[in-house]
Amino acid sequence: MIDEPAPHEYRVLDSAPVYEGRVIRLLKDTVAMPGGGDSVREVVRHPGAVAVVALDDDGHVVLLRQYRHPVGEYLWELPAGLRDADGEPPLQTAQRELAEETRLAAERWSLLTTHYSSPGFCDEMVLIYLAEGLRDVDRPEGFTVEHEELDMTVERVPLADAVQRVFDGGIRNAAAVVGLLAAAQARATGPRLRPVDAG
């Protein structure tokens, strides 16, 4: 029997800050590579985010159309937001974002998926929740609609239509693509979903 080699330890030999912004930090990490060398990696540190597939009793999903400056376009997305409130559990962030952006709350919550948005350079992890049993609520006290959200459109569409928009190229936001396809599969096959506090 041949012994498999031990996995290489990718140690960070040096880490130099390049930029620190309101949301992200950019670092230059020097990392030990297999074979004895090292290489520099630019790494974006991100607080993470949540997104919500909000499904009503008629099987319609809530979508938002919002302008995104880095790509210079309006994108169809799920209700979502940064995990930038100190100490706020991710489920609570998802519930708050759903209320802020859509004036909705949900009776039932499940953790649908977790994914890294772009792990080649960024550590952002997105937790996507399935929210069912929707009801109307007021926006949270103290929340002010501003900036791009002043121009945001909220729409409910059948889940199957939203999934078709993914395949047509009309929905390209990564969390929306992942969340909608996962929700459609969950509806079709009833897989065991993780509890909401799993991460």
Domain boundaries, the chain: 12-45, 49-189
Q: Which residues of 36-74 are buried (b: 16+ CB within 10 A; e: fewer)?
A: eeeeeeebbebebbbbbbbbbeeebbbbbebeeeeeeee
From the list 97, 141, 148, 149, the catalytic residue is 149
Whether 149 sits among the annotated catalytic residues: the reply is yes
Query: Mean per-residue pLDDT for 179-189?
Result: 97
Give the model's confidence band at 49: pLDDT under 50 very low, under 70 low, under 90 confident, else very high. Answer: very high
CA angle 100, 174, 133 (to 5 degrees): 45
Task: Return mean pLDDT, the chain.
Answer: 94
Query: Mean per-residue pLDDT for 12-38?
Result: 95
Between helix 159-168 and helix 174-189 the angle, nearest 10°, is 130
What pLDDT, in 10s, does the model give residues 82-109? 998 888 999 999 999 999 999 999 999 9
The two three-digit tokens of residue 114, written as one number: 């977790």
Q: Would you say residue 146 has pLDDT above 90?
A: no
Q: Would you say residue 1 has pLDDT above 60?
A: no
**Local structure of 148: helix, strand or coil:** helix
* Fold designation for 49-189: Nucleoside Triphosphate Pyrophosphohydrolase (3.90.79)
| Total-model pTM | 0.91
Q: Would you say residue 116 has pLDDT above 90?
A: yes
Give the model's confidence band at 2: pLDDT under 50 very low, under 70 low, under 90 confident, else very high. Answer: low
Sequence-separated (6 or more) residues with CB below 8 Å from residue 58: 158
Measured between alpha carbons, how far is residue 169 from residues 20, 74, 76, 118, 195 in Å? 34, 13, 11, 19, 31
CB half-sphere exposure, 25, CA atoms < 13 A: 10
